[in-house]
Amino acid sequence: MENLIKVQVEGEQTFEIAQGTPVLEFLKNYMEERQIPVVAANINNRLKDLWTPLDTPCQVSFVDLASPEGIRIYHRSVTMLLMKAITEVMPGSNAVIQHALGNGLYGEIHYDRPLRDRDITRIERQMRYIIEADEPFLHTVLNKEDAERLFTEAGQTEKIQLLKYISNEQVELYVCGGFYDFCHGPMVPGTGYLRNFRLRFYLPGFILELPRAESPTEIPPYVEHGKLANIHFEAKKWANILKVSNVVSLNDVITKGDATNLIRLIRVSEAFHEKKIAYIADEIAENIDRIRIVLIAGPSSSGKTSFAQRLSIQLQVNGIRPVAISLDDYFVDREHTPRDEKGNYDFESIHAIDIGLFNDHLIKLIQGEEIKLPYFNFKTGKREYHGERLKLGPADLLVVEGIHALNDQLTSSIPKGRKFKIYVSALTQINLDNQNRIPTADVRLLRRIVRDQRCRGRSARETIAVWPSVRRGEEKNIFPFQESADVMFNSALPYELAVLKRVVEPHLKEILPEHPEYAEAQRLLRFLSYFAPLELDDVPLNSIVREFAGGICFVGPVR
């Protein structure tokens, strides 16, 4: 007689099933078919693939493509499928996934000749062929020696090098039709799940267009992001100059005991930031006769505050006195704040700001008039006036930082030529290996966890819990306007994850298996495990990474 176990689904129905039943079989036999495909399961808050056997009584919730976790699994699986197809169509080539671009991933294939459009057509055809075969993605565990042999046979030298930084003697991998990769999280059950993608030639590489969680069954039209693409290419060029393009090369600099190389990496990285900030300040100074306001925007934890403070110094070098006004003080009274679809106050809506008053004050300041500065009392939810006044002098320049700063609706009364817009984000320069990039959102989440704990008393669990809402706000209020910026600044540093690792890991380890945020904490810990730690003491006091890790030399707002 077979043993039975109880499985509770999403806190509601309970089923008795045979011990050892794979999640995929349980899903097919006991659950109604869903409109949006299920690609994984949370089993007692541990994210698992659908081949996982249910061996003990447990609570299960299903992960579909409409969730951030689900779409991440889909993207990871399609990427592995792509790399498998490339090795079969162009043996001996070296393919690299570089970074996100638009709704897809940009990559390059290094071969004995330039990549051509017809190569991409052949690769996509091979991907479709593998999809029709519905080859499974299977999780396996090997010892390091066997894993090294497999990667050697496949010519994946960067994965061989990464093995030496994995502390465990056992290595988790996924295999699909004889093609292996490290396990960075669950995969879909098989290639038959991966029909929704587009692959197209994009000189000198390709773009793998993918669905998004908001519309998981379709691929949105591709929108060119020329300025963002240029910043990504600049970041890769910078990484190549520093000879730090992936985790292995960074770890080698940190662990091989050559202090000269480590100091060079940090100092040149910081000097590049300073040079870019000085360039932006010079551009503003060259056009100061027309520019009256600088607008700075970027997603959460992109380093806007430190950037604004460093820009302030460079502007003063040019004889310009930056004067900051805070958008936070222009919130409408609490009872007039718009609400979201769940009935909660939507403080990230542009209509949470008194646009009329803000524009009236901008016009008066630019015309040389004096204004009474408002102060928003967050405890009472009311605007107050404390007698503070502001009038711009002839050498003064307004600086406004906020999530809506690039949205012209915020400054509708100011002519375009009088504004200078800056977009700040953290666009990661390094990858884990050729196949696995480091998402920029992960870097910003780690930054925010460290800062929230240090400055706001929030636990890592609390920060992770609100992160999906933060990301939705960014998609709505920030990213649609990024290409309207006059200039973009990449605040990421090649070495910063090695610094954040030492600070953030203890906070992530405080999240327990019974917490809903446990799976995400484990994903971040797995990702950080590849990095060698770097002491914060090695980082300059004005570095943007110190805005999050602590010890930055700037005090107070830009004034």
Half-sphere exposure of 419 (CA within 13 A, CB side): 24
Q: For the segment 451-481, what is each residue's pLDDT rounded down to a tens digit?
A: 999 888 899 999 999 999 889 889 989 999 9
Can you list the positions of beta strands (E) in 354-418? 371-377, 382-390, 396-401
The per-residue pLDDT for 84 is: 97
User: For residue 90, what pLDDT is reported?
Assistant: 96
Could you state, in order of their start, the residue ranges of all structural domains in the chain?
4-64, 69-226, 242-323+393-549
Give me the pLDDT at residue 346, please: 85
Whether 1 shows a pLDDT value over 80: the answer reads no
Does residue 148 surpass a pLDDT of 50? yes
Return the pLDDT at 455. Answer: 85
Residue 559 is predicted with a pLDDT of: 31
Q: Please write the tens of the pLDDT for every residue from 207-259.
A: 999 999 888 989 988 888 889 989 988 888 888 888 898 999 999 999 987 78
- Contact indicator for 512, 475 with CB cutoff of 8 Å: no
- For residue 191, name the pLDDT band (cuts at 50, 70, 90): very high
Q: Does the structure show a pLDDT above 90 at 111?
A: yes
User: Mean pLDDT for the chain?
Assistant: 92
Distance CA 438, CA 98 (A): 9
Highest mean pLDDT among 163-172, 279-288, 391-400: 279-288
Q: CB of 315 within 8 A of CB of 397?
A: yes
User: pLDDT, tens digit, for every residue of 42-84?
Assistant: 999 999 999 999 999 999 999 999 999 999 999 999 999 999 9
In CATH terms, the fold of domain 69-226 is: Threonyl-tRNA Synthetase; Chain A, domain 2 (3.30.980)
- Cα–Cα distance for residue pair 345/352, rounded to 1 Å: 9
Average pLDDT, integer, range 269-294: 96
What's the pLDDT score for residue 556? 53
Q: What is the CATH code for 4-64?
A: 3.10.20.30
Position 554 scores a pLDDT of 67
pLDDT in tens, 322-381: 999 888 899 999 999 998 887 888 888 899 999 999 999 999 999 999 999 999 998 899
pLDDT at 557: 44
pLDDT beyond 90 at 145 = yes
Check the CA dihedral 459-461-464-468 and report its sign. negative
Is residue 181 within 8 Å of residue 80, measured between CB atoms?
A: yes
* 500/439 Cα distance (integer angstroms): 15
What SS3 string covers 488-525?
EEECCCCCHHHHHHHHHHHHHHCCCCCCCCHHHHHHHH
Write the pLDDT tens digit of every residue in 322-337: 999 888 899 999 999 9
Contact present, 407 and 481 (Cβ < 8 Å): yes
pLDDT digits (tens, 9 = 90+) for 504-523: 999 999 999 999 999 999 99
d(CA 384, CA 328): 12
Average pLDDT over residues 295-311: 93
The stretch 194-213 carries a mean pLDDT of: 95
Q: What is the pLDDT, as a whole number, of residue 555?
A: 55
